[in-house]
Amino acid sequence: MPSRSPARLGSIRLGLAAAVLAFGPAAPAAAQDPAAEPPKVLVVMDNDFAGPGGTDMQALLPLISDPQVGVLGFTVVTGDGWENEEAARLLRFLEIAGRSDIPVVNGATYPLMRTVPEMKSWEQRFGRIPWKGAWGGLGPIDKVPVQQPALPHLDEGLPTTPPASGLAASFLIKQVHAHPHQVTVIAAGPLTDIALAIRMDPSFAADAKQLVFMGGLLDTSMQSVTGDADFASDFNLIFDPEAAHIALTAPWPKITAVGNVSNSVMMDRALMDRVAAVKTPLTAYLSKYFNPLPLWDEMAAAIAVDPSLVTKSVDAFMDVDVSGGTDYGRAHIWPEALAPKDMGVRAVTIVQDIDRTRFTDGFVKAAQWTPPPK
64-91 pLDDT, tens per residue? 999 999 999 999 999 999 999 999 999 9
pLDDT attached to residue 192:
99
| Residue positions counted in the chain | 374
Q: Please say if the pLDDT value at position 140 is more than 90.
A: yes
Q: What is the mean pLDDT of residues 287-314?
A: 97
pLDDT attached to residue 7:
40
Is residue 135 exposed (0-12), middle (13-18) or buried (19+ Cβ within 10 Å)?
Answer: buried
**Helix extents (H) in the chain:** 14-21, 54-58, 61-64, 83-97, 116-126, 168-178, 192-200, 204-207, 221-226, 235-239, 241-248, 269-276, 281-288, 296-305, 356-367
Find the range with the poorest average confidence among 31-40, 89-98, 200-209, 269-278.
Answer: 31-40
How many CA atoms, within 13 angstroms, populate the side-chain half-sphere of residue 304? 37
Q: What is the mean pLDDT of residues 278-287?
A: 98
Structure confidence at residue 31 as a pLDDT band (50, 70, 90) = very low
Q: What is the mean pLDDT of residues 23-41?
A: 53
pLDDT attached to residue 9:
41
pLDDT attached to residue 21:
36
- CB 171: neighbour CB atoms within 10 A? 30
Mean pLDDT over each residue of the chain, to the nearest integer: 90
Specify the DSSP class assigned to residue 133: G
pLDDT attached to residue 233:
80
Query: Got the DSSP string for 294-318?
Result: B-HHHHHHHHHH-GGGEEEEEEEEE
- CB 357: neighbour CB atoms within 10 A? 9
Structure confidence at residue 229 as a pLDDT band (50, 70, 90) = low
167 within 8 A of 105, measured Cβ to Cβ: yes
pLDDT attached to residue 226:
58
Chain segment 301-350, per-residue pLDDT in tens: 999 999 999 999 999 999 999 999 999 999 999 999 999 999 999 999 99
pLDDT attached to residue 19:
39
Chain segment 153-189, per-residue pLDDT in tens: 999 999 999 999 999 999 999 999 999 999 999 999 9
- Nearest CA to 3 out of 73, 78, 64 is that of 78
Q: Please say if the pLDDT value at position 356 is more than 80.
A: yes
Distance from C-alpha of 252 to C-alpha of 206, rounded to nearest angstrom? 5
pLDDT attached to residue 178:
98
Specify the DSSP class assigned to residue 90: H
Domains of the chain: 40-367 (3.90.245.10)
Specify the DSSP class assigned to residue 371: P
pLDDT attached to residue 228:
63
Judged by DSSP in three states, 185 sits in strand
Whole-structure pTM value: 0.89
